[in-house]
Structure 1
Amino acid sequence: MTILNPDPVPEPTPEEVARGLAELEQHVADQAPATPPRTPAVLSGETKRVRRLRAEVAEAHLLTDLQDDDAPLLLDTAKVRKRRKAAQQAARLHALAQDPQMRAWQAARMRRLLVTAALVSLTLALAWSTAGVQKFAAEGADPWSPGWMFAWLVEPFLSLALLVVVGARAYLGTRGQPLTNRTLVRIEWLFLALTLGMNAWPYLPWGLPDGTGFSLSRLVLHILGPIVAVAVVTALPIILAAFSDLDHAASTPTGPTYRANTTAPDALITRARHLIATGELPANAGADKIRRALGCGMDTARAVRDALRTDTIA
């Protein structure tokens, strides 16, 4: 089967190509929308300087309108809220401190602290005098001999007996039942006198060995423990008796009193009610509107608002 080749397509001439491009440009130009001629900016007056000035004038008008509004000045900043929170907390703590139950709790805690410190001081003072009592009780016995060792037990059992009496008086004093029995007082002073005498005797002029000079500083150092014990035993009942006489319900002038809210004057409340009745002020007006209408401070306006809300609820 023989395939016959078609006749070759003749190539376009340059004149035909140029004519085709011209027709294509004319067709595109006919299809494009017509655009109005551009007016020069200089002829219309809309220069860059004019547009900038017009924007400044519009901005000035907006700023003038906004400057008349005091709403931003009424907002509390973070620092103001922090101060207000601290003030409210201080006022509540002050009010709580005046409560009789709180005052009783504070007194009980302080009394317990003082009694604990007094007993610790008394125990240390009696422990301090142990060495002086041991020297008195040993009477020159050889170290580590039975008499020398038993001499160390004199002050402990004497101090324990004294602490029993003092501890009982201290505890009952904290419970509002102070012990003033003369027998117990005499027992305390007897134990203290024995401790003081045994500490001071070896260091008095007639108790020193031959050739040993008297030293006042050494005597004071060894009787320091018994003196502190005497002071604690004497002062503790007086302190506990004073705590027992406290009247926690009585008011004491501890400083200025605080009010939770600002109280609005009756005249402003009456005026606000009149404005509401005449329609010049809404019935549910906020503090800002009340402040503007009455010309008062923000705190007073809030108080007036609260008073008006109370009237509405009633």
Structure 2
Amino acid sequence: MTTATPAPEPTPEDIARGLADLEHHLAVNTPAPSATSPAGATRETRRVQRLRAEVAEAHQLARLQSDDAPLLLDTPKVRKRRRAAHEAARLHALGQDPAMRAWQAARMRRVVVCAAMVSLTLALAWSTAGVQHFAADGAGAWSPSWVFAWLVEPFMSLALLVVVGSRAYLATRGQPIASRTLVRIEWLFLALTLGMNAWPYLPWVAEEFSLSRLVLHVLGPIVAVAVVTALPIILAAFTDLHHGTDDRLTGLTYGENTHDPVRPPATDTAWPSVIEMPALVQRARALITAGELPATPSAYKLRQVLRCGMDDARAVRDALLAEGMA
């Protein structure tokens, strides 16, 4: 068995040589210091890094704040106001359109007629109790006379509503009924209703006169009289309503009637200036005699039948009214 020979101890020359080799190795492998960082500078702390980031952010914000592009954009509130203004302008322009104005007038006319008929129905229903008290003439409750007395006002009201409803409907269609017979029938029913409601409460009839009771019982018939009187006047005004500012809007109603004996041919572009009003009036009188027009036709009906402009129709209507009053 052999034993290891111990290594010789290094001499001072060996130690000096090793230190020199180590210094050379470190000098070769150690990187050069950065150009932005001074030699021997220590590592940046987190506080320095945060401050450096804040400074960089401030420089960027300063450059962006000098740009006015964000101020040129519309905010949501501005967009909302602009949209509302644009919508209002379009609605206003649409409201000036003759077709829209005609539609609005027709809708309002239906509302007026419905409201008038409902008011008339309620007024006649209000007077039912007063008419029943008059017709029963003191009969006992649930006796035949007492029961049948409740039917007096309804059948008169239904007859009156038939007349008023027919006149109102035909007036909305541009052909109002000008009949004195129907007017007399309306006033007869209303006078009967008013008389039967007021008679038991008149000063010389009632045992103890009360003005409030009299007013309450005549209120229904008075409202009915007001509705029946005002409704034809209102509908006549709706019928004569002119929805446009240019009568050329009505040209489609007569543009193709080249064989009309009153109007010149459609190829004549100057026909509005050569119309003879007496010819239109004479033709309207002939149609009234033949029964194709009512005795007092409206301007709307004359425009439809004569195929003329609204101004001409109004002139013919005024001429016919003047002849009737002469």
TM-score w.r.t. length of structure 1? 0.62
Is residue 2:243 matched to residue 1:248?
Answer: yes
Q: Deviations over 1:56-96 (max 9, x none)?
A: 79928963x862x5433322222222221111111111111
Distance 1:56 1:30, change over 3 A: closer
Q: CA deviation at 1:238?
A: 1.0
Separation in structure 1 between the aligned mates of residue 85 and residue 3 of structure 2, nearest angstrom: 102
Q: Deviations over 1:91-131 (max 9, x none)?
A: 11111111111111111111101111110111011011111
Distance 1:36 1:97, change over 3 A: same
Matching residue of 2:30: 34
CA RMSD in angstroms, aligned pairs only: 3.8
Matching residue of 1:134: 132
Separation in structure 2 between the aligned mates of residue 134 and residue 156 of structure 1, nearest angstrom: 10
Matching residue of 1:308: none
Distance 1:66 1:204, change over 3 A: closer
Distance 1:61 1:162, change over 3 A: closer
Separation in structure 2 between the aligned mates of residue 234 and residue 91 of structure 1, nearest angstrom: 40
Is residue 2:150 matched to residue 1:114?
Answer: no
Separation in structure 1 between the aligned mates of residue 185 and residue 61 of structure 2, nearest angstrom: 96
Matching residue of 1:179: 177
How is 1:243-282 mapped onto 2 (pairs within 5 angstroms)? 243-250=238-245
- Which runs of at least 4 in structure 1 moved beyond 6 Å after TM superposition? 7-10
Among 123, 126, 129, the alignment partner of 1:125 is: 123
Unmatched 5+ stretches in structure 2? 43-47, 247-326
Q: CA deviation at 1:41?
A: 6.0
Matching residue of 2:80: 82
Distance 1:61 1:161, change over 3 A: closer
Separation in structure 1 between the aligned mates of residue 194 and residue 125 of structure 2, nearest angstrom: 13
Q: Deviations over 1:1-52 (max 9, x none)?
A: xxxxxx8998x99x99xx9xx99x959965972233652569xxxxx7xx96
Letter in structure 2 aligned against 1:203: Y
Distance 1:200 1:62, change over 3 A: closer
Q: CA deviation at 1:139?
A: 1.3
Distance 1:115 1:28, change over 3 A: farther
Q: CA deviation at 1:173?
A: 1.2
Separation in structure 1 between the aligned mates of residue 3 and residue 162 of structure 2, nearest angstrom: 136
Matching residue of 1:72: 70
Matching residue of 2:199: 201
TM-score w.r.t. length of structure 2? 0.60
Among 91, 98, 101, the alignment partner of 1:100 is: 98
Separation in structure 2 between the aligned mates of residue 236 and residue 82 of structure 1, nearest angstrom: 44
Matching residue of 2:165: 167
Matching residue of 1:307: none
Letter in structure 2 aligned against 1:248: H
Aligned length: 225
Letter in structure 1 aligned against 2:59: E
Matching residue of 2:228: 233
Distance 1:72 1:196, change over 3 A: same
Matching residue of 1:59: 59
Distance 1:88 1:56, change over 3 A: same
Identity across the alignment (%): 69
Separation in structure 2 between the aligned mates of residue 119 and residue 106 of structure 1, nearest angstrom: 20
Matching residue of 2:288: none
Letter in structure 1 aligned against 2:237: A
Distance 1:193 1:59, change over 3 A: same
Among 186, 197, 208, the alignment partner of 1:213 is: 208
Distance 1:30 1:204, change over 3 A: same
Separation in structure 1 between the aligned mates of residue 61 and residue 86 of structure 2, nearest angstrom: 42
What SS does the aligned partner of 1:180 have? coil
What SS does the aligned partner of 2:167 have? helix
Distance 1:126 1:58, change over 3 A: closer
Q: Deviations over 1:181-237 (max 9, x none)?
A: 1111111111000000000001112322xxx31111111111111011001111111
Distance 1:9 1:30, change over 3 A: farther
